[in-house]
Amino acid sequence: MMLIPRRNYGLNLFDEFFNDPFFTGSTEKNSDSRKLPVMRTDITEKDGNYIMEIELPGFKKEDIKAELKDGYLTISAEHDASSESKDDKGTVIHRERYTSSCKRTFFVGEHTRQEDIKAGFENGILKLQVPKDAPKVEETPKYIDIL
C-alpha cells in the first residue's frame, strides 16, 4: 500500500516550499503559512448553476466585496478591529489592534454578467450562485456610415 502525504491545497504551495528547513536554516519547519487567512471554498453544480460556498469567519457583510471583471470574479474581505482597556484613572493598560484581509479570484466565463450572479451572506458563509452557461449576448451588426 502506498501512502500519500496529505496537503492543504488552500494555501500557497510555494510558501510551504520556502519554509522548508533547507531555506530557513532551522531544524523545525516554520508553520507561519498555516496562520494565513484562506477562503475555503466548496463549489457544487445544481440546476445549471455553480453554487459557491466560501467560508469567511469573523467577517461581516460590510467587509466583503465581490467584483466581476473580464470574466473573473474576485472576492475580497478586509476587517479591522481594535480594543482598549483603561483603569479607573483613564490610563490605558491594554490596547490591541487586529487586521485581516484575504482575496481570491475565480474564472466564471467571459459572458457572465453582474446581474446573473446572486449572492448572500449568513453565519460567516458567502453563498454565490453563478450560471454555468451564461447567456451570450448576440451582437447586432453595426454599420458605419460612409461619407
Q: Which domains does the chain have, with CATH numbers?
A: 7-36 (no CATH), 37-131 (2.60.40.790)
Return the pLDDT at 93: 77
Return the pLDDT at 122: 94
Return the pLDDT at 16: 58
**Strand partners for 83:** 96
Length of the chain: 147
Dihedral (Cα; 117, 76, 126, 48), 10-degree rounding: 30
Return the pLDDT at 125: 94
Mean pLDDT of successive 10-residue stretches along the chain, which has 147 residues: 50 56 52 60 92 92 92 91 80 80 90 91 94 72 72
From 73, 59, 65, select the one nearest 107 (Cα to Cα).
73
Return the pLDDT at 34: 47
From 74, 136, 140, 138, select the one nearest 107 (Cα to Cα).
74
Return the pLDDT at 17: 56
